[in-house]
A and B are shown apart, each in its own frame.
Chain A
Amino acid sequence: MKILVTVKRIPDPDESLKFAGNAIDTSSSKWVANAFDEYAVETALRMAEHIGNKDRLAEVIVCSVCPKDKRQHVTQFLAMGADRGVIVDADETAMDSQTVAKLVAEVFRREGCDLLVSGKLSQDSEGNEVAQRAAGLLDLPQASFAATLRWDRGANALTVGREVDDGVETKTIPLPAVVSVDLRIVLPHSVKNGATADDHKYSDGARLASLRGITMAKRKKVDVHTPAALGVTPSSHVAVAGVTAPEKRAAGQIVDSAQTLVNKLITEAKVL
């Protein structure tokens, strides 16, 4: 079993945005890993590990389209526990998501992977496209917005609880397949691999890298490809024509006590 996980670097979402002319200025941004990708790697690791045993049920490969010297997020995920990395050396900010999906799909094919796991969206562009596109390009079944996942190794299939508008849909897909993960996938009991005890309680959220993991990460293999070597010609059929700041919310008021607050909520805002 080989699991490919897409990971992306994004400008630190906790930094304030700088606007330069008609665009966002990221020249001085700190780049960090996309939070949903942390959930995706956590999902893959929970599938791969057999708690209480040394054997691993899957190899976890993290894949990123980024300049090869801007790979800190890849190293971070190797430290978290992924087995190795694949980098497609390119300026991902100049590509559309179809190009990124083609690159991911090609890495998936060449590696002979069984499962692609992606975060549901990236926190900067918020496209929510790449996993579904890769599934379409690979002509594989997909389960987007996963909140729970059970791996039935006997049937070589996944049963996925998907966050849909009116609840949670349960969908079973045969492998190979594509899954995108939503927030609740990192709750303590969301991922079951049939080997680790079903009642095993993972800690809530994506795991942090251990000191040993950080040391090990430097020794893990990272392959670097170019888009040309993967046979993909980058395209950009969607251009950002401009970026502006949204309208500011009108300034509010500071009240002096809980009593004043409740009075104002009753008489002024009329919400109580």
Chain B
Amino acid sequence: MSNVLVIVESDGSGPKAAALPGITAGQQLAAATGGQLHLLVLGASPDAAAQALASGGYGASAVHAIAGAELEPFTAEAWTDAVVAAVRELGVTAFGGTASSTLREVVPRAAAVLDAPIVTEITGVTGADAFTREISAGRAIATLKVSHAPFGFTARASDFAPAEPGSPATTVSALSAGSVSRRGATVVGVEKTQSARPALTEADVVVSGGRGMREGANFKVLEELTDLLGGALGASRAATDAGMVPADLQVGQTGKVVAPNLYFAVAISGAIQHLAGMKGSKTIVAINKDPEAPIFQVADYGLVAKWEDAVPQLVELVRAHKGG
């Protein structure tokens, strides 16, 4: 038996959209192992979501629901108890799901309790026990081989298409998790991100400035361009470390990973750790006075110029274009 268990986060009535890539990874893994795909829903009243999953099929042989007041709102502590119980009860070979902030907390904790290995943020399934993932800020792709069952996995959402309903329906079975505890933790609530500008990770356009901007006041002209384009403002680590702009604007491996349609790198040399945060962007524009700057190697369009000259011109040209 080499079945695969995917933990599916629900919105109360069905799977969260973010959970669907994890189901796809589970389907691929089950196909590779020759085992069945099982889905697991957790919550205070998970039945509606479990039923929706079972009706949709999603390539699964069975849907399991664990109900418990302690499981909602989410805590890694209580969810780990439930996941560990399910993995043991079902005797699955692999367990995991989408690399969401939820499962990135739960899967490693559950794996520790099960004394199991995990592969995190996988980008591909290449065998029953083999996976690819990026390491070292996307500069290398590692193939990992797992030699232990059970093992855990989390799948990077951008690398697996969302699973779709439409395969034969299956049934829901209730599982008991035994004792489930939050270990004294309480969740006060979630404050959803709010800003006049879109979130860095969700913006269609990102305009980032680097060390060459010299001081925070100089970011004003970048903000002008950002707002004209309805985008988000970013910065390189050199700029945030120098205190020009707040640290949460940092784009890079140590900051935010962004993949907008259009990315402007202004006065950014292009350190590896910055590239790791933006090289997935569709169109990259680099403006730098140094023609040798590494940023030009990843840019679709490069302009060798001082930002003091180029950016105000850009603002005027974009404004004219938008205006008419």
Q: Which of B130, B192, B229, B310 contacts A258 (CB 8 A)?
A: B310
Residues 239-264 of A contacting B (Cβ, < 8 Å):
239-246, 249, 251-255, 257-259, 261-262, 264
State which of B100, B142, B148 has its C-beta within 8 Å of the C-beta of A243.
B142
Instruction: Identify the closest chain A residue to B76 (Cβ).
Output: A142
> A165 contacts the other chain (Cβ, under 8 Å)?
yes
Closest Cβ of chain A to B276, distance in Å, is: 8
Say whether A145 contacts B101, CB under 8 Å. yes
Interface size class of A (residues with CB under 8 A): 35 or more
User: B13 near A: Cβ within 8 Å?
Assistant: no
- Among A122-141, those with CB < 8 Å from B are 123-130, 132-137, 139-141
Q: Residue of B at shortest CB range from A10?
A: B136
A100 to chain B, nearest CB (A): 11
Contact of B217 with A by CB under 8 A: no
A183 touches B186 (CB 8 A): no
**Which residues of chain A in 210-266 are interfacial with respect to chain B, using CB atoms and an 8 Å cutoff?**
237-246, 249, 251-255, 257-259, 261-262, 264-266
Q: Are the C-beta atoms of B112 and A244 separated by less than 8 Å?
A: no
CB distance A169 to B187 under 8 Å? yes
Contact with A265, one of B116, B248, B283 (Cβ below 8 angstroms): B283
Assess the A173–B185 pair: CB atoms within 8 A: yes
Q: With a 10 A CB-CB cut-off, give which of A184, A259, A269 has the most chain B CB atoms.
A: A269
Task: Note all chain B residues with C-beta closer than 8 A to A183.
Answer: 247-248, 250, 254-256
* B302 contacts A by Cβ under 8 Å: yes
List of A residues within 8 angstroms of B191 by Cβ: 167-170
Q: Whole-angstrom distance between the alpha carbons of A251 and B80 in the complex? A: 46
Total contacts A to B, CB within 8 angstroms? Answer: 263
Instruction: Mark B126-154 against chain A: 1 for CB-CB distance below 8 A, else 0.
Output: 00001000111111111111111001000
Question: A14: which of B112, B190, B273, B284 is its contact (CB, 8 Å)?
Answer: B273
A125, A168, A254, A264: most-surrounded residue (chain B CB, <10 A): A254
Query: Which of B106, B117, B137 has the most chain A CB within a 10 Å cutoff?
Result: B117
Complex Cα distance A164/B296, Å?
Answer: 33
Let me know if B254 and A255 touch, CB within 8 A: no
Segment from B26-34, B36-44, B172-180, B312-320 that makes contact with A: B312-320
Chain A contacts with B in 53-81, Cβ cutoff 8 A? none
Q: Is the CB of A168 within 8 A of B190?
A: yes
Instruction: State whether B110 touches A174 (Cβ < 8 A).
Output: no
How far is B148's CA from A14's CA once the two chains are assembled, in angstroms?
34
Residues of B contacting A128 with CB < 8 Å? Answer: 104, 108, 120-121
Q: A136 to B107: give the CA distance in the assembly, Å.
A: 10
Which one of A13, A98, A144, A145 lies within 8 Å of B117 (CB-CB)? A98
Q: A66: shortest Cβ distance to chain B, in Å?
A: 18
- Check B112–A141 contact: CB distance below 8 A: no
Asked whether A252 lies within 8 Å of B146 as measured between CB atoms, the reply is no
Contacts of B109 in A (CB 8 A): 132-133, 135-136, 142
Q: Is the CB of B302 within 8 A of A255?
A: yes
Residues from 71 to 105 in B contacting A, C-beta threshold 8 Å: 75-77, 80, 100-102, 104-105
Q: Considering the complex, which residues of chain B in the window 8-66 have a beta carbon less than 8 Å from any beta carbon of chain A?
A: 18
Q: Which of the four size classes fits the interface of chain B? A: 35 or more
B321 touches A272 (CB 8 A): yes
Whether a CB of chain A sits under 8 angstroms from the CB of B308 is: no
Chain A residues near B314 (CB-CB < 8 A): 258, 261-262
Is A193's beta carbon under 8 Å from chain B? no
A257 touches which one: B106, B186, B262, B303 (CB < 8 A)? B303
Which residues of B have CB within 8 Å of A166? 190, 192-193
Interface string of B238-270 (1 = CB under 8 A from A): 001101001110100111100001100000000
Contact of A98 among B76, B111, B190, B256 (CB under 8 A): B111
Instruction: Name the one of B80, B113, B188, B190 contacting A164, with C-beta atoms under 8 angstroms.
Output: B190
Given A165-B18, A168-B191, A170-B191, are A240 and B144 neighbors across the interface (CB < 8 Å)? yes
Q: Which of B112, B182, B191, B297 gathers the greatest number of chain A CB atoms within 10 Å? A: B112
Once the chains bind, are A16 and B272 in contact (CB under 8 Å)?
yes
Contact of A170 among B76, B137, B188, B192 (CB under 8 A): B188
A-B contact pairs, 29 of them (CB 8 A): A13-B273, A24-B140, A36-B254, A98-B111, A98-B115, A123-B253, A126-B121, A128-B104, A129-B108, A132-B108, A133-B109, A134-B112, A135-B76, A136-B112, A141-B77, A142-B109, A169-B190, A169-B191, A183-B250, A184-B248, A203-B243, A204-B243, A251-B297, A254-B291, A254-B296, A254-B304, A258-B303, A265-B285, A272-B321
Closest 9 CB pairs of A and B: A136-B112, A133-B112, A237-B117, A237-B148, A132-B108, A258-B313, A136-B109, A170-B188, A167-B192
